[in-house]
Structure formats: C-alpha cells, structure tokens
Amino acid sequence: MNNMDKMLGLLSQKLGISNETIKGAINSGDVSKLLSGMQTEEAKRLQRLIKDKERLEALVKSKEAMNLMKQMRR
C-alpha cells in the first residue's frame, strides 16, 4: 500500500465516501462529492483553501504536512 492509498483510505473513512469516488473527484477536479460528506463550515473552508493557490502550497509545505507524509511512508 503506497502513501496515496493510505491517504485515500483515511479520507474515505472520514468522509464516508469510497476510495474510487475520491479518486474520480481528484482526477476530474470536481470536489463537490467530497464536500457533500463534510459539515458546511468545513466544506466552505476547504473550498476557500483550494481556490487560494498560495495558501494551499503553504499548507502542503508546512511542517505538519511534512510530518504527516513522513509517518505515512512508514
């Protein structure tokens, strides 16, 4: 199981959506199905983050994100 599969599994559990649905949303760029599994305020915050490329890039490069990726490599 690679890191992407682990991340998809965690997201799938959190949102109650299948891995295939998540993969399809990522590949198509249509995250509406993912947002439907979230609480309204969480979905709004995620939408704002996705639209703000600078904030999204900063998040991905953050210490917390790097630590999470390291843990998932194990």
The domains of the chain are located at 3-73
Q: What is the pLDDT of residue 72?
A: 65
Q: Which of 36, 13, 32 has its CA nearest to residue 24?
A: 32
pLDDT at 48 over 70: yes
Distances (CA, A) of 22 to 28, 53, 63, 70: 10, 21, 25, 22
Q: What is the pLDDT of residue 69?
A: 73
Query: Which region among 1-5, 20-24, 54-58 has the lowest average model confidence (pLDDT)?
Result: 1-5
The structure's pTM equals 0.52
pLDDT at 46 over 80: no
